[in-house]
Structure 1
């Protein structure tokens, strides 16, 4: 078994997931699921989501209205900061839609998801859903979870030893480069979304592509028609870089630095989700800024659970994990980043060691 422990010892196309292997009538997960269902935590919240979707849509429209009203001025950089936060909130709405937290049916979920994702922020709903579904099925599995593939960063010492290319160049100092690299994440989402249109597995290719084209063409046209070229480039840079940092900061605490698995290492569904996820403590502001994903353990166990129920589900899940002896990891937001960065630094050690021992170094 290849498992990397967290630094502290002790965290949707269709992202509605099967219950996974082992959740039979008498399984640990089945017993927990019955408790959650009896508490009414799987019921839809149409009123909540009507208000939330309306507010996010209003913020998005209001941000662009403010942009048009201000005109060609450097004060537009304040709008860029505001719109970075709004884009992050739109992405969180698309996430909930993909998990069918809003609608039970696939069609309305996909239709709204493409409007908020493709048209609203220029992120392919179909591409992200495929990627995120595979992550949920096998979180932190080095061969099965695309979120821990050794692309630019390495997530385990084994990946560090076998790394090459950009991952080897960055891996030794990846903990220091992690947040600076997030400034590129917004751009990466747009590029990956366009590239995904060429994949034979992409469904509704023309619809996805058309909505992406509408977003990108309208976005760039508005920027360069209203602003001078220098201000337009500055707005685009501030907006997309901060959007990437915000989005990455939402997802980074969830699983980075938690145990990873490899090969045939696949615990039962409950343990696979709980052991690889980290909860982040906080109040209503934390819930708002992280979109409820600070309850990552509960979200991974019950991905279609409406996000406003996750806080209450935490009490049930934490007590149950204590009852059956499954470690349940929860920490504050700053501590979660420290744990993730400490893990990234630790697993990069083989690269640093090889550089020191290389001839001429």
Structure 2
């Protein structure tokens, strides 16, 4: 690919029917039985996360006003990260086939347990899936605080212009605020059109934070409560960023007017992360990002086998397929952040 940063003049080869490349891949996945739901898997996985959450709450209440609570805060950051991954799978209807069951589960996990609006996040994430790494259409690469392309850097104003100069170095420190940012954005979204039932979602969000802050300041002294909050939310934000950033950051950006079919649009902008069972568990299956984007409702345990089929099929088509390790993926993302911020440091 001539330009590793921007896809502006890439066109798919002529096909017998538009979308036929993806149709053939979908047929192969169906024949392999990879599109079937896995209720036993999700029962075990969600049950384990639920037990971890209950254990964390029990430990918090047992320890009382102690600095040892910072260990609980760190563990609960991991639990919250797993809850975020559970909400993600529910939103994609990987768990339940029916919309109502998926939505109810999503509201419980996202709003009640995490303090994040399910409706707002689902709207945002759906737009990301439709146009990954598209400068104008993907909300995940909107130039808010960070810039994701040189074009955005040249047009940056306010905080994005200031932070963009050193955004690679500031990326992980900024992630410590991501958990709080999700909650702030959720409350803000209640006033907009993306949340269809603002009264219900708002009530659930208020209930979450009433219990969360009430528990912190009733059990802990103010200083320890604030320390718990900083450790918990900071590590939670870093965890989320470590799961989502490696998947697209540093992959080609799509400019307005670029024509790509569905398969190429998803594959060329996504990166898989290798690492075995540990990475699979840590990233909740999102390390198979290419397969997830091609088949969003595919259950997590099927993604590994789908990866083998997809990579071979892309080789048949001559479509580049990106796989790398976890550390290398983060290095690529940080390198991209530094490169696109060059115009703000006086570069070309």
- Specify if TM > 0.5: yes
Question: Structure 2 residue aligned with 1:319, among 306, 312, 327?
Answer: 312
How far off is 1:238 after superposition?
A: 0.5
Among 209, 214, 222, the residue aligned to 1:229: 222
2:302 counterpart residue number: 309
Distance 2:19 2:332 in 1: 35
Match of 1:218 among 194, 202, 211: 211
Per the alignment, in what secondary structure is the counterpart of residue 158 of structure 1? helix
Instruction: Identify which of 43, 58, 71 aligns with 1:65.
Output: 58
Q: CA RMSD in A?
A: 1.6
- The match for 2:125 among 129, 132, 141 is 132
| Alignment correspondent of 1:5 | 5
CA distance in 2, matches of 1:178, 1:124: 24
CA distance in 1, matches of 2:3, 2:93: 32
Relative distance call for 1:260 and 1:290 in structure 2 (3 A) is: same
Cα displacement (A) at 1:340: 0.5
Displacement of 1:200 in angstroms is 3.0
Quote the residue 1:192 is aligned against: 185
SS in structure 2 at match of 1:331: strand
Deviation (angstroms), 1:266: 3.5
What are the within-5 Å matches in structure 2 for residues 75-114 of structure 1? 75-114=68-107
Per the alignment, residue 291 of structure 2 pairs with: 298
Matched-pair contact (CA < 8 Å) for 2:90–2:105: yes
Provide closer, same or farther for how the CA distance between residues 169 and 278 of structure 1 changes in structure 2, counting only shifts above 3 A: same
Contact 1:292–1:310, Cα closer than 8 Å, also in 2? yes
**Separation in structure 2 between the aligned mates of residue 3 and residue 122 of structure 1, nearest angstrom:** 40
Deviation at 1:172, TM superposition (A): 1.3
SS in 1 for 2:54: helix
User: Which residue, out of 244, 249, 269, partners 2:237?
Assistant: 244
Contact (CA 8 Å) 2:115, 2:183: kept in 1 or not?
A: yes
Q: Does the Cα contact within 8 Å between 1:154 and 1:171 map onto a contact in 2?
A: yes
Q: 1:57: how far off?
A: 1.2
Moved more, 193-202 or 289-298: 193-202
Match of 1:258 in 2: 251
The alpha carbon displacement at 1:5 in A equals 2.8
List gaps (5 residues or longer) in structure 1: 7-21
Deviations 1:137-182 (A, max 9, x none): 0000000000000111111111111111111101111111111110
Structure 2 CA distance for aligned equivalents of residues 26 and 165 of structure 1: 42
- Write out aligned runs for 1:11-22 (5 A): none
Q: Report if aligned partners of 1:23, 1:269 keep a CA contact under 8 Å in 2.
A: no
Distance 2:80 2:214 in 1: 18
Shift of 1:26: 6.5
Spell out, residue by residue over 1:37-92, the C-alpha distance to the aligned partner (whole angstroms, 9 max, x if none): 10000000011111111111111111111100110000000000000000000000
Which of 315, 334, 341 in structure 1 is aligned with 2:334?
341
CA contact (8 A) 1:23 1:30 kept: no
- The CA distance in 1 between the partners of 2:265 and 2:61, in whole Å, is 48
Change (3 A) 1:257 1:25: closer
**Partners of 1:47 and 1:190 in 2: how far apart?**
31
User: Does the 8 A contact of 1:23 with 1:29 survive in 2?
Assistant: no
Partner of 1:14: none
Question: Is 1:153 aligned with 2:146?
Answer: yes
Deviation at residue 24 of structure 1 after TM alignment: 5.6
Quote the Cα distance in structure 1 between the aligned partners of 2:259 and 2:57. 46
Return structure 1 stretches of 4+ with deviation > 4 angstroms: 22-26
Task: Name the TM-score, length of structure 1 as normaliser.
Answer: 0.91
Residue in 2 aligned with 1:176?
169
- Shift of the 261–25 alpha-carbon distance from structure 1 to 2, 3 Å rule, reads closer
Uncovered stretches (5+) of structure 2, i.e. residues with no partner = 7-14
Counterpart CA distance in 1 for 2:108 and 2:17 is 37
